[in-house]
Structure 1
Amino acid sequence: MKTITWGMIGCGDVTEVKNGPGLYLAENSKLKGITNRTKSKAVDWVNRHQQGIVYESVEEMLKDEEIDIVYIAVTPDKHLEYAIQCAKAGKHCLIEKPLALAYDEGVAIREAFREAGKKAYVAFYRRNLNRFIKINEIVKSGKIGKVSQFHIHRYVNPLTDFGAWRAKPEISGGNVFTETDIHILDYMDELFGEVKYFQFMKNSLNGNDFDSLVVNFQYENNIRGTGNWLYNAEVTRDVVEIIGEKGIVSFDFFHNDTPILLETKEGREEILLDDSIHVGLAMEQAIVNELNGIGEFHGNIDNALRTLKITDIIYHSETR
């Protein structure tokens, strides 16, 4: 089996534990080298991880014929530029989420890779974690019967919970909802397919960006759901409930160390599963396998575009 060789653009926090180590820990995978706009940071990363070399520039990396795929691990404002460069260089690509600053940029990225005949993946790693595979299994196996609805409750305070750059739309494409909580919408896409219709209300309680959002969704098979987001909460909550005719499965979305709760007439079951601290490893292994002709990666750029379109519409609508 071929060893898939990676290059990496950027070496920020997301590459330290989450997604960087998987490039060299996955089977039949190796990290050839990285590049960063501040070279000293790239040198430091390579020395600490004892992996790869440092390229002087993105252009130098893309000229390396050994590299099969590039991980774009920078903020969304740079995704379009680097993704287009990768496509033109004939490289597959793993792009950090969200795919782009806006939906039209995401479409441009998809078309560039289609034209190049190369794969473009988006780093929605939760689809490949044991925890979320188990939830998927519970929902689709019929353990809770036919699903009719779901409810998302997400109450946080981004002033303390998230880095400031996420609140700068020129860098993140929006705010915490568009940059971080798009993970939730991506997983609903994994479970229920495409959103056929949605309506929403949002307002601002602090005079700045919107911090209160309520969304009603209608998916395929007439599955309906609600999403409630509050971004100035002193008391936090992070719960998704999926309701079927025979039971309920509920779980914290962003806290992998909490149990999945399964409730049926047989009783209440708590399911706690372990995943690697390198949460991107399973995703990266699936990508390597697919590039070697084994299996199929969960999710693709079309899935990512569907969720990006929703967050784009919500973010750019008028706040009331």
Structure 2
Amino acid sequence: MNTIHWGILGCGDVTEVKSGPAFQNIEGAELIAVMRRNGEKARDYAQRHGVAKWYDDADRLIHDPEVDAVYIATPPSSHAEYAIKVAAAGKPVYVEKPMALTYQDCQRMIHVCQQAGVPLFVAYYRRSLPLFLKVKELVESGTIGKVRFVTIALYAPPEENERDRCNLHWHVLPEISGGGRFVDMGCHQLDFLDYVFGPIVETRGLAANQARLYPAEDIVCASFRFDSGVMGNGVWCFTVSEESQTDRMEIIGDAGKIRFSVFTPDQIRVETEEGISEYELIQPEHVQQPLIQTVVDELLGRGKCPSTGVTAARTTWVIDQILCEWRATL
């Protein structure tokens, strides 16, 4: 097989620019089918993106004999269900992040895919983006010496659809997303740190709903320890003013520090006793494209993908631990 023919379940916003077009652009892949429960929207997506087939029924796409692999881009509440169906059909799975609602669901997905003999990949695409690979390189080369700790600060104002209880986005409905914007966005930060430092083996967290705009938590504070001995902490708050917006991660070593942003990535700043260095790396138009290329390369036997069900499940485990006390109060 020289080309992997893909189908997408759930062709919503994330697939418009971040991921969908990548399947048409990269070597060894072709997007041939999409599915959305609203057939008109599925057909519209297919026509706009030059996709041959569209469905309003997931099972029909999964069992289409021309579809070799399936990208699951639905909300997290259906990830496990669809992944299990795709695996049962004997097809590789590429699933959006977060991998599932709970660590237990992640383990089910891993087990079923292993039993079916199909690979399971997860869309933690920062593991393949140039800026983040540069951060990893700087850490591993010892540029800032031995790393002591990491800090995360992510503060943002409420989004417009979070102020209207009659029009809430699924991202802040725990039964669909698993939590609030901490789950949706914090998972990217925690997964990247897993990639750089290895698994987080211990964590504690506090969460609350301070603004009462929606059911999910809107502030989270956490501390954590990596298996490597590096320590970390983070604060995520999504009800601050526009002026207080912050997107910052710092990696502190015994010989300097690295500062960068995760969601507005434009520059890496490195401070050591030798001075300040700055790196600017251009992000691709379709941010998932480098990771999807690694998925396709692995399926074609010419490479390895750095984001698998096993690695992604670790991030869901961390989130479950951080939110366990908060969830117990709901």
| TM score, norm. by length of structure 2 | 0.92
Aligned to 1:248: 257
1:267 to 252, 261, 275: 275
CA distance in 2, matches of 1:26, 1:267: 40
Contact 1:68–1:92 (CA under 8 A) maintained in structure 2 = yes
Aligned to 2:320: 312
Aligned to 1:94: 94
1:282 aligns with 2:290: yes
1:138 Cα deviation after fit: 0.6
3-state SS, counterpart of residue 66 of structure 1: coil
CA distance in 2, matches of 1:122, 1:132: 17
Q: How has the CA–CA distance of structure 1 residues 173 and 204 changed in structure 2, closer, same or farther, with 3 Å as cutoff?
A: closer
Q: What is the alpha-carbon root mean square deviation over aligned residues? A: 1.7
Q: How has the CA–CA distance of structure 1 residues 41 and 13 changed in structure 2, closer, same or farther, with 3 Å as cutoff?
A: same
1:197 to 194, 202, 206: 202
3-state SS, counterpart of residue 201 of structure 1: strand
CA distance in 2, matches of 1:221, 1:101: 27
3-state SS, counterpart of residue 317 of structure 1: helix
CA distance in 2, matches of 1:29, 1:310: 33
CA distance in 1, matches of 2:173, 2:235: 22
Unaligned runs of 5+ in 1: none
1:55 aligns with 2:55: yes
Contact 1:178–1:312 (CA under 8 A) maintained in structure 2 = no
CA distance in 1, matches of 2:190, 2:154: 12
Aligned to 2:108: 108
Q: Which moved more, 1:57-66 or 1:130-139?
A: 57-66
1:160 Cα deviation after fit: 4.1
1:254 Cα deviation after fit: 0.5
Aligned to 1:188: 193
Alignment of 1:168-183 (within 5 A): 168-183=173-188
Instruction: Kindly provide the CA deviation profile for residues 50-99 of structure 1, in whole angstroms up to 9, marking residues without a partner as x.
Output: 12311352222222233221001111111122111101000101111111
Letter in 2 for 1:167: V
Contact 2:5–2:29 (CA under 8 A) maintained in structure 1 = yes
Unaligned runs of 5+ in 2: 163-167
3-state SS, counterpart of residue 107 of structure 1: helix
Contact 2:106–2:313 (CA under 8 A) maintained in structure 1 = yes
1:36 aligns with 2:43: no
CA distance in 1, matches of 2:127, 2:154: 19
1:205 Cα deviation after fit: 2.4
CA distance in 1, matches of 2:84, 2:148: 41
Aligned to 2:126: 126
Letter in 1 for 2:278: E
Q: Which moved more, 1:56-65 or 1:119-128?
A: 56-65
Identity of aligned pairs, percent?
36
CA distance in 1, matches of 2:295, 2:94: 9
Q: How has the CA–CA distance of structure 1 residues 253 and 310 changed in structure 2, closer, same or farther, with 3 Å as cutoff?
A: same
CA distance in 1, matches of 2:143, 2:117: 40
CA distance in 2, matches of 1:32, 1:49: 10
Letter in 1 for 2:26: A
1:161 Cα deviation after fit: 8.7
Aligned to 1:294: 302
Aligned to 2:240: 233
CA distance in 2, matches of 1:318, 1:140: 35
Letter in 2 for 1:69: A
Aligned to 1:206: 211
1:293 Cα deviation after fit: 1.4
3-state SS, counterpart of residue 180 of structure 1: helix
Contact 1:36–1:42 (CA under 8 A) maintained in structure 2 = yes
3-state SS, counterpart of residue 285 of structure 1: helix
Letter in 2 for 1:215: A
CA distance in 2, matches of 1:197, 1:161: 35
Contact 2:83–2:93 (CA under 8 A) maintained in structure 1 = yes
3-state SS, counterpart of residue 70 of structure 2: strand
Q: Which moved more, 1:152-161 or 1:171-180?
A: 152-161
1:182 Cα deviation after fit: 0.7
3-state SS, counterpart of residue 85 of structure 2: helix
| TM score, norm. by length of structure 1 | 0.95
Instruction: Kindly provide the CA deviation profile for residues 8-60 of structure 1, in whole angstroms up to 9, marking residues without a partner as x.
Output: 11111001000111111111111111111111111111111112311352222
Q: Which moved more, 1:282-291 or 1:306-315?
A: 306-315
Letter in 1 for 2:238: Y
3-state SS, counterpart of residue 181 of structure 1: helix
Letter in 2 for 1:138: L
CA distance in 1, matches of 2:219, 2:98: 21
CA distance in 2, matches of 1:126, 1:158: 24
CA distance in 1, matches of 2:199, 2:235: 19
Letter in 1 for 2:319: T
Letter in 2 for 1:236: Q
Q: How has the CA–CA distance of structure 1 residues 221 and 102 changed in structure 2, closer, same or farther, with 3 Å as cutoff?
A: closer
